A and B are shown apart, each in its own frame.
Chain A
Amino acid sequence: MKNYKRLIVVIAILIVVVLIGTMFAGCKKTEAAVGGDTMRLFIVQPVSLDPPFCMESEGIQVARQIWDGLFEYDRKTLDLIPELCDKWEVSDDGLVYTFSLKKGVKFHDGSPLTAEDFVYSWTRAALAATAAPIAYHLGPIKGFDACQDGSATTLEGVKALDAQTLQVTLSYPYADFVTTLGHVVFYPVKKADIDKWGADYTKHINGTGPFKFVEWVDDQYVKLTRNDDYYGEKAKLDAVEYKIFADENTAFLEFKAGNLEFTQIPIGKIKATQDDPTFGKYCLTAPLLAYNYYAMSMNFPLFADNPKLREALNYAIDRENICQVLGEGVPTPMTGFIPPGIPGFQENAAPYTFDPEKAKQLLAEAGFPNGEGLPTLKFGYNAGSGHEKFGEAIQADFKEIGINMELEGYEWVTMLDKAKSGEITFFRIGWGADYPTMDNFLYPLFYSQSYDNYLAYNNPEVDKLLLEARSTIEKDERIAKYREVEKMVLADNVSMLIYFYGQRRVIQPYVKGFILDAMENYDLSKVYFEK
């Protein structure tokens, strides 16, 4: 009996410990929001909020509310808008840019923003020791390569002429440079903050934007509050709470229960949400500046020597069916390498339709009538990311015209490495915008020396025209050149175009002033509730 009592004592102690622990010793108590309207948004755990480490959309979404950059993009048109910059000039040779900063801008800790902050921030991002994963955006700035190879400790091309004037010198003319400055990597941080916090700066953010950072608790939330000392128009919301979820299904349930204002619609629930009487009108499913395509490597003689085969594959697939049935109507058939929304987009730039007869004819012209003599195409994709079903649908389309395709799943990086080395020659890949420019979709993918050119595509004429376009200051002339590049690349049929990605988001009906742009960015300072 004595021992039995002891067990009861042990159990009772456990219960008491847990009860006390749960009730009074919460690991991190949720702090009350700052009164009034708080916008609650779904995100997954960001990697970092420190600008040079904001390498994924989650961190970028949050950072854009905390900081202002030299430039921002108009959420409806994606046009460039000066933000921290009053005016700017570019030299005749297109190499030297001079930016005049707005006066009266302060960091959230009250210290003034100066040109030196930009010099420090950009140098920090470029240095080898920082190893910033998105440092490549600073590539055109003079001295970047020296910073990367460790031979320089300052970024030669960035200078503060005075407290309000920033001068940037490029290594080569790059007309879209100013547009790239809307990217988060160019946001200014304070040297004193980095010196104080080091790697922990990401949890002690000090920005310049309409919302101030309050707290980030891993896997729970990131809280922001309105910056009442903001130099521009103050935000209408009192606070913002990014709720961190690992599973979009759970977030969606919370949204339906009214605990979130903005979330992602899980795959498989898009149609039902669009038909929902309450939320149907508030689904956001516009195309994104991103696409999914199947690359045919020029390292593979079968593809390199058979342009008709490459063309045939593009006519053999039913993109509409893929988008409507498998993609629940969210993606849209890819019609070129420049997505809709980018200035310079060409409607139906690619001629491809779903035409099995034409595909068969082209296949015969390529020397493979009804697929005879054509080896089985081994297709690589990153397994476990939902790409299998699309691959299988295309496999079935190919079968109809006599082409055999085998699906081979890989880990993402393994696939990229094998594609780079030429070991995999037919594979699925995607690309999304860093900034809304044609260059961002053409130079990285098709310039022969670009590290992101996984196609091993090498067309000297395309290279020449790309470099010309990059150095053309006049906008219309530049766009005309990029359009020509797109036509040349499409004429070479180097990839199977699959689909443009689409948004699958939903907001609560009472949220007003929320505009989600085609890069999935938004400005919460304009948002208000109408309940």
Chain B
Amino acid sequence: MFYYIVRRILQLIPVVIGVTLILFLLLYIIPEDPARLILQKGATPEALANLRAKLGIDKPIYVQYWRYMKNLFSGDLGTSYRYQRSVNSILAEHYPYSIKLALAAIIIEIIIGIFTGIISAVKKYSFWDMLATISTTLLVCVPVYWLGMVMQVIFGLKLGLLPMSGYGDGSIRYYIMPALALASVSTAYVARMMRSTMLESLSNDYIVTAYAKGLSQFKVIGKHALKNALIPVVTLIGLDLGSIMGGAILTETVFNWPGVGRTVYLAILQRDAPVVIGGTIVLVMIFVIMNLLVDILYAWLDPRIRFEKKEINV
């Protein structure tokens, strides 16, 4: 297991090189000059040259890339073109908010998604199953932006139950609406997957045997069906943390959540390459680490799954 983890961490190096290279090339081929974007008025050739020199974009792309990579491996993600501040400090200010919101969303996804999926499968074709199916279909279809605005108007403006936006003092009430909005689509997917894997699990012979042994429904579902049905769901949830963090732009915008998604999105619009690349590298690392954790969790949940060669061959 130890070697597996080391190997997976080492795999990060080519991933990071690949990501930086692709992003560098993509941002370089866009004809918009970041210096020109900043200098809206009075963009004299001298002013443009001074700014390009300060931003380090006056050099050929390979020089820029080499310099970036050198700094990157010493932990320096560069300086934002637009804000002219360290990217490390910009990301350090924003990532904690995104991680916390993503974790809150994942908890909602786990609790509501799994519970709904189980009820739906156990009470197949019942009123509750239909309600769950309709709700999950709606959640998948409804744009997060719209859902967020509706929640803000109802629970914030009309009922005054929850704060409408922002991080405030960081208490749980500030998390409820953005986390629910962010988790909405993923929760629906988890519920659907849970339902189908549970149904598959419930149709196995050992379930019939368990019932024949006289076990209660609670025990059959909880002890025999659920643990087998959970494995693909755990994979989905684990991978979702990365997607939720990367895809939280709309939620962060509607709820004015000071996360990194919005920061990177604005940086893309402003051609602020160091922020885009830095933000993406951190996201990729989170994604890879989450993948690794899911794999480890997998093995922990299911003793049949092991990563050492000899055990796989057994």
Pair A245/B93 contact, Cβ less than 8 Å: no
Picked from B46, B169, B227, B258, the residue with its CB within 8 Å of the CB of A3 is B227
Which residues of chain A are near B17, meaning CB under 8 Å?
A: none
Chain B residues with CB under 8 Å of A531's CB are none
Chain A's closest residue to B39 (CB) is A133
- Main SS at interface, chain B: helix
CB of A377 within 8 Å of the partner chain: no
**Chain A: which residue is nearest B82 at the CB level?**
A47
B42 touches A247 (CB 8 A): no
A278 located at the interface, meaning its Cβ lies under 8 Å from any Cβ of chain B in the complex: no
When distances are taken between beta carbons in the complex, the residues of chain B under 8 Å from A218 are: 90, 93-94, 258, 263
Shortest Cβ distance from A280 into chain B, in angstroms? 18
**In the docked arrangement, what's the CA distance between A342 and B256, Å?**
37
> Is the CB–CB distance between A148 and B50 below 8 Å?
yes
Question: In chain B, residues 13-57, which have Cβ atoms closer than 8 Å to a Cβ of chain A?
Answer: 31-33, 36-44, 46-47, 50-51, 53-55
Option from A19, A217, A416 in Cβ contact (under 8 Å) with B258:
A217
Question: Which chain B positions have C-beta within 8 A of A15?
Answer: 107
Partner among B84, B90, B106, B166 whose Cβ is within 8 Å of the Cβ of A14? B106
Shortest CB-to-CB span from A171 to chain B, Å, is 14
Is B291's beta carbon under 8 Å from chain A?
Answer: no
Cross-chain contact A18 with B39 (CB below 8 angstroms): no
**Which positions 112-171 of chain A face chain B at CB distance < 8 Å?**
128-131, 133-137, 139, 145, 148-150
Contact with A along B94-115 (1 / 0, CB 8 A): 1011001001101100110000
Contact status A417-B36, CB under 8 Å: yes
Do B149 and A249 have beta carbons less than 8 Å apart? yes
CB distance from B116 to the nearest CB of A (A): 15
- B86 partner residues in chain A, CB cutoff 8 A: 199
| A18 in contact with B169 (CB, 8 Å) | no
Q: Which one of B38, B40, B46, B234 contacts A148 once the chains associate, using CB atoms below 8 Å?
A: B46
| Residues in B whose Cβ lies below 8 Å from that of A259 | 164
User: Do the beta carbons of B262 and A254 come within 8 Å of each other?
Assistant: no
How many whole Å from B183's CB to the nearest CB in chain A?
13
Interface residues of A in 60-75 (CB under 8 A from B): none
Is there contact, CB below 8 Å, between A413 and B36? yes
Contact A245 B54 (CB under 8 A): no
Q: Which residues of B contact A81 (CB under 8 A)?
A: none
* Interface hit among B191-199, B203-211, B294-302, B306-314: B294-302
Report how far A47 CA is from B38 CA in the complex, Å: 10
Find out whether the CB atom of A10 lies under 8 angstroms from the CB atom of B256.
Answer: no
Residue B160 at the chain A interface, CB threshold 8 Å = yes
Residues 15-57 (chain A) with a chain B CB within 8 angstroms: 15, 17-19, 21-23, 25-30, 45, 47-48, 53, 55
Instruction: Say yes or no: B100 contacts A18, CB within 8 Å.
Output: yes
Bound complex: CA A3 to CA B300 (Å): 8
Provide the residues of chain B in CB contact with A130, threshold 8 Å. Answer: 54
A414 CB–B CB distance under 8 Å: yes
In contact, A18 and B103 (Cβ under 8 angstroms)? yes
Given A7-B234, A413-B32: A14 touches B103 (CB 8 Å cut-off): yes
Q: Which residues of A contact B88 (CB under 8 A)?
A: none
Partner of B164, one of A10, A25, A254: A254
B107 contacts A14, CB within 8 Å? yes
Instruction: Knowing A3-B303, A219-B94, A254-B164, say if A48 contacts B254 (CB, 8 Å).
Output: no
- 21 A-B pairs in the complex with CB atoms less than 8 angstroms apart: A3-B303, A4-B226, A4-B227, A6-B301, A10-B297, A14-B106, A14-B110, A23-B172, A25-B170, A29-B169, A47-B82, A131-B53, A133-B51, A134-B41, A218-B94, A219-B94, A220-B167, A250-B164, A250-B256, A253-B157, A417-B33
Which residues in A have some Cβ–Cβ distance to B below 8 Å? 1, 3-4, 6-7, 10-11, 14-15, 17-19, 21-23, 25-30, 45, 47-48, 53, 55, 128-131, 133-137, 139, 145, 148-150, 199-200, 202, 217-220, 243-247, 249-251, 253-254, 256-257, 259, 411-414, 416-417, 434, 444, 451-452
